[in-house]
Amino acid sequence: CGFKLRGTGPQPILPFKTLFVSVAETSPLGVQLRRNLDVMSNIEIVSDRKLADAALEVLNEGRDKQVLSLNSQGRVREYTLLYRVNFRVVDKEGRQLLAPTDLVIRRIQSFNENQVLAKEAEEATLFREMQSDLVQQVLRRVSAIKPVQ
């Protein structure tokens, strides 16, 4: 049916070989981005921006939690969790290889006041999973960057 294992076909040619990731090394997003980008056979992650052909800049990272629905007793029954990242890729000369791109991941979390501490832990787990999802989406955008004509 035409499916081939990823990585066995010809690799896309990216307009950079080395990439710097401008997210703090202590941030979970930074750790996960570097690790997943490093797996790509056509990119090398470098820790010094001056040595990099291009830089992945995370311009904004934010989490939000909004009340989605109340039951007839006025109690919150569902929250929407939002995880947002705005990023771009620029080359050495500061030209944008990928214009600022907004990615938003949404999840609905059910809520019950009588389990609030557990729900807090569950929220953290959901945000971690949303972050992995988002990192995969960033990766796909980065690996689809075309050389500047």
Q: Which residues bind other proteins (CB under 8 A)?
A: 1-9, 25-26, 31, 35, 39-41, 62-64, 66-67, 69-78, 108-110, 112-127, 129, 137, 140-144
Query: Who contacts 63 (Cβ-Cβ below 8 Å, separation ≥6)?
Result: 81, 82, 83, 84, 127
Check if the beta carbon of residue 23 is closer than 8 Å to that of residue 58.
Answer: yes
Q: Which helix (H) or strand (E) holds 118?
A: helix 116-143
Q: Which is nearer to other proteins, 100 or 129 (CB)?
A: 129
Closest separation between CB of residue 118 and other proteins, Å?
A: 4
Closest separation between CB of residue 114 and other proteins, Å?
A: 4
| CA 95 – CA 112 distance, rounded (Å) | 49
Closest separation between CB of residue 66 and other proteins, Å?
A: 7
| CA 90 – CA 99 distance, rounded (Å) | 8
Q: Which is nearer to other proteins, 93 or 114 (CB)?
A: 114
Q: Which is nearer to other proteins, 1 or 13 (CB)?
A: 1
Closest separation between CB of residue 5 and other proteins, Å?
A: 4
Q: Which is nearer to other proteins, 35 or 49 (CB)?
A: 35
| CA 122 – CA 83 distance, rounded (Å) | 15
Q: Which is nearer to other proteins, 18 or 31 (CB)?
A: 31
| CA 43 – CA 53 distance, rounded (Å) | 10
Q: What are 45's two structure tokens?
A: 């992650």
Closest separation between CB of residue 45 and other proteins, Å?
A: 12
